[in-house]
Structure 1
Amino acid sequence: MKSLQLIFSNPRYFGPAWVFASLNIWFGTWAIYIPSVKEKLDISKADLGIALFCLSLGVFVIFPLASTIINRLGVGKATWYGVFLSSIAALFPLLAPNYYVLMVSLFLFGATNGLTDIAMNTLVTEIEKEDKQNFMSAAHGFFSLGGVIAGLGSFLIPWINNPFLHMVIMVVLVFSVNVYFKRNYFSIQAAPIEKEPFSLKLFKPLLLLGIIGFVSMGSEGAIVDWSGLYLKEVVLAPELLIGSGFLAFSISMTLGRFLGDGISARIGSIKIVALGTCIAILGYVLVLTGSIFWAITGFAFTGLGFSVIVPELFRIGGNIKGVDSAQGVSFIAGTGYAGFLLGPVILGFIAENGGLKNTFSVLLGVAVLVLIVSQALTRRKRG
């Protein structure tokens, strides 16, 4: 919990951490109103799926450009401009008068979120380098906390009874906090590095990290989408407990991220990735037992295991020798986000043809793959 204490005691660390929370508060508030937007515009599920793909497309379009933008503006300024643009873009989807404006609005929301995501992870990487303090994992914990805050905001719906007004309130409150703390990171620049020409030697560690990111975030997305259905159809849990797997996963992930920096400081980034993977593997084994108690416990273990992996990937990616920190973070973000989006879709086809239990068996298998890849990173570091 040292990193959490660090964040709350020093505005230099709280400012960037609050950016993480802000992004998920705005996104989570939008997500609450997806059903009402569908109803308001009278669009089908297929049309809604295409519109949501536009959001993802916006994220992917910005990824190749983000490192250039960040290096040109400076990582502190890029983070602030990302916050400013994201806060404006968050308002557009709920104002969309028709389907086509909704698609454009979601594209812009995705693009601004993507820029902010990469900038804020690069910013934390640079502050960690400069201050010799670890708080990347706790910053990702703030992202998870932002989702919790957005969820609690759903209790305001009956009183506000206006989706756009609800979003305006959240944007103004969250943005005001960002305005107050932005001076603590606005002027931060990425430390100059001695770049090396492209080579397989440089690309190999990025590729290994990308594989881990794709699989880890793909697994996260799968648990978000499929845990409830698994408990209902495979474990035959009562209706009251159907959401308990995701709840256990989310709580343990948030707690794990607040604890991760201290463990990482003691054993190192690569070892904590391997440790987290072992915990996630144990979790999948428990999920596959078919027992209600052990399955829910298993989801908690997977959340705890995966909680420390993604923050460490950003930390490692931003510190590869000869690779610009913004480029390393952009690559990890791109491959990880691709996994988060494509993983549940791929596993959906497996579930349709082979059943949900086979789907979670595949997730167990890819977790073992992550462990093998993390060992390859360990060997490379020793070499």
Structure 2
Amino acid sequence: MRSLLLIFSKARYFAPAWVFTSLNIWFGTWAIYIPSVKERLEIGKADLGIALFCLSLGVFTIFPLAPKIINKLGVGKATWFGVLLCSVTALFPLMAPNYHVLMASLFFFGMANGITDISMNTLVTEIEKEDKKNFMSAAHGFFSLGGILVGLGSFLIPFIGSPLLHMGITVAVVLLINVIFYRNYIHIVAAPVEKEPFSFGLFKPLLLLGIIGFIAMASEGAIVDWSGLYLQEITKAPEAFIGSGFLAFSFAMTLGRFLGDGISERLGSVKIVTVGAIVAILGYGLVLSEHTLLAIFGFALNGLGFSVMVPELFRIGGNVRGVDSSQGVSFIAGTGYTGFLVGPVILGFLAESSSLSLSFYALLGAAFFVLAVTFFLRSRR
């Protein structure tokens, strides 16, 4: 909780943390209006899937370019640039008059999300280096907090009555808060790194971190998408409990990220990822018991375990010897985001060809693999 108090006590730390919150508010507000956009433009599920792929394509297009942009502008200016881009492009999908404009709008919105994501994580990494303070995990907790705020804001939908007006109000409020605080980070630039000639030995730590990021975010995406169906079909949960797995997962993840920095200071980044993998494994054990209440508690342990992984991966990736912090963060973000998109799809194929239980056994096996990789990282360090 010390990092949470740090964020609320000094604008230097609150400013980047609010960018994390902002990103999830923009994206989440768009997400709750996906059904209404589908209905307004009279498009089918397959066409909608292609349009959403354009958003992902925009993210992946900017990832290779992000380090160059950040190093050219400075990480503080790049973060502010991302905030302004998101504020504008968040409005585009809800203004789209037809399907093709929707695809283009989502592509540019994805690019804005991508540059903001890389910039804000690099920014926190640089501030941590300068101040010798850990708050990366809490910053990711603020990202989760953005989702909660979107959920609360959804209750205003009947009163606002217009998706574009809702997004416009959201953008205005979020941007106003950013305008108040952006001067606290806009001057920050990444510390120069003594570059080394490329070698597999230099790349190997990033590769291992990328594998963990892929699995962690693939698991997160799978639980978000499949936990409700698992409770419904496998544990035969009552209808009122079907959403409880996702709720428990989200609450535990937010709590874990707010507590993670203090634990990381005591244990170290690699060791906390090890502990997170163990907690996630215990969670899958309870989920696979196929008992409703135990499974819900298991999803909570999954959220707690995975909550500390991704922030620590960004922290480690931004401090790899001989690699720019922006390049390290970009690599972790790229592999993790790939996992978040691909993971639920792979789980869907497994569920379709065999059973949903097999899908969660696969996630359990992946968590054991993460545990093994962390032991290798500890030995190398």
The TM-score range, normalised by the shorter chain, is: over 0.9
Q: Counterpart amino acid of 2:289?
A: T
Q: Counterpart amino acid of 1:166?
A: H
2:68 alignment partner, SS class: helix
CA offsets 1:324-367 (integer angstroms, 9 cap, x no match): 00000000000000000001001100000110000000000000
| Structure 2: 5+ residue stretches without partners | none
The CA distance in 2 between the partners of 1:255 and 1:12, in whole Å, is: 22
Equivalent runs, 1:158-173 vs 2, <5 Å: 158-173=158-173
2:346 alignment partner, SS class: helix
The CA distance in 2 between the partners of 1:195 and 1:343, in whole Å, is: 34
CA offsets 1:282-301 (integer angstroms, 9 cap, x no match): 00000000111100000000
2:64 alignment partner, SS class: helix
Matched, 1:156 2:156: yes
Q: Counterpart amino acid of 1:248?
A: A
**Counterpart residue number, 2:268:** 268
The CA distance in 1 between the partners of 2:152 and 2:26, in whole Å, is: 13
The CA distance in 2 between the partners of 1:241 and 1:61, in whole Å, is: 39
Q: Counterpart amino acid of 2:271?
A: K
The CA distance in 2 between the partners of 1:129 and 1:208, in whole Å, is: 22
The CA distance in 2 between the partners of 1:176 and 1:78, in whole Å, is: 18
The CA distance in 1 between the partners of 2:197 and 2:332, in whole Å, is: 19
**Counterpart residue number, 2:30:** 30
Matched, 1:3 2:9: no
**Counterpart residue number, 1:181:** 181
Equivalent runs, 1:113-128 vs 2, <5 Å: 113-128=113-128
Matched, 1:318 2:318: yes
Deviation at 1:197, TM superposition (A): 1.2
Equivalent runs, 1:304-383 vs 2, <5 Å: 304-381=304-381
The CA distance in 2 between the partners of 1:87 and 1:309, in whole Å, is: 29
2:94 alignment partner, SS class: coil
1:61 alignment partner, SS class: helix
Deviation at 1:193, TM superposition (A): 1.1
CA offsets 1:182-221 (integer angstroms, 9 cap, x no match): 0000000101110111101111000000000000000000
Segments of 4+ moved more than 6 angstroms: none
Deviation at 1:66, TM superposition (A): 0.2
- The TM-score, its normalising length taken from structure 2, stands at 1.00
Deviation at 1:224, TM superposition (A): 0.3
Q: Counterpart amino acid of 2:189?
A: Q
2:92 alignment partner, SS class: coil
Deviation at 1:266, TM superposition (A): 0.6
**Counterpart residue number, 1:130:** 130
The CA distance in 2 between the partners of 1:260 and 1:160, in whole Å, is: 37
CA offsets 1:356-383 (integer angstroms, 9 cap, x no match): 00000000000000001111111110xx
The CA distance in 2 between the partners of 1:359 and 1:259, in whole Å, is: 30
Deviation at 1:49, TM superposition (A): 0.2
Deviation at 1:95, TM superposition (A): 0.2
The CA distance in 2 between the partners of 1:32 and 1:331, in whole Å, is: 29
Matched, 1:99 2:91: no
The CA distance in 2 between the partners of 1:196 and 1:89, in whole Å, is: 38
User: What is the number of equivalent residue pairs in this alignment?
Assistant: 381
Equivalent runs, 1:119-268 vs 2, <5 Å: 119-268=119-268
The CA distance in 1 between the partners of 2:152 and 2:54, in whole Å, is: 27
Q: Counterpart amino acid of 2:303?
A: G
CA offsets 1:36-55 (integer angstroms, 9 cap, x no match): 00000000000000000000
RMSD: 0.3
Matched, 1:285 2:282: no
The CA distance in 2 between the partners of 1:148 and 1:57, in whole Å, is: 26
The CA distance in 2 between the partners of 1:131 and 1:83, in whole Å, is: 24
2:333 alignment partner, SS class: helix
Q: Counterpart amino acid of 1:217?
A: M
The CA distance in 2 between the partners of 1:147 and 1:195, in whole Å, is: 38
The CA distance in 1 between the partners of 2:373 and 2:83, in whole Å, is: 34
**Identity fraction in percent:** 73
Q: Counterpart amino acid of 2:156?
A: L
**Counterpart residue number, 2:73:** 73
**Counterpart residue number, 1:298:** 298
Deviation at 1:308, TM superposition (A): 0.2
1:64 alignment partner, SS class: coil
Q: Counterpart amino acid of 1:313?
A: L
The CA distance in 2 between the partners of 1:300 and 1:151, in whole Å, is: 19
Deviation at 1:139, TM superposition (A): 0.1
The CA distance in 2 between the partners of 1:197 and 1:148, in whole Å, is: 45
The CA distance in 2 between the partners of 1:11 and 1:197, in whole Å, is: 39
CA offsets 1:5-63 (integer angstroms, 9 cap, x no match): 00000000000000000000010000010000000000000000000000000000000
2:93 alignment partner, SS class: coil
**Counterpart residue number, 1:12:** 12
Q: Counterpart amino acid of 1:138?
A: A
The CA distance in 1 between the partners of 2:270 and 2:376, in whole Å, is: 10
Q: Counterpart amino acid of 2:287?
A: V
The CA distance in 1 between the partners of 2:84 and 2:254, in whole Å, is: 26
The CA distance in 2 between the partners of 1:52 and 1:28, in whole Å, is: 14
The CA distance in 2 between the partners of 1:153 and 1:34, in whole Å, is: 16
The CA distance in 2 between the partners of 1:187 and 1:168, in whole Å, is: 28
1:290 alignment partner, SS class: coil
The CA distance in 2 between the partners of 1:207 and 1:322, in whole Å, is: 14
- The TM-score, its normalising length taken from structure 1, stands at 0.99
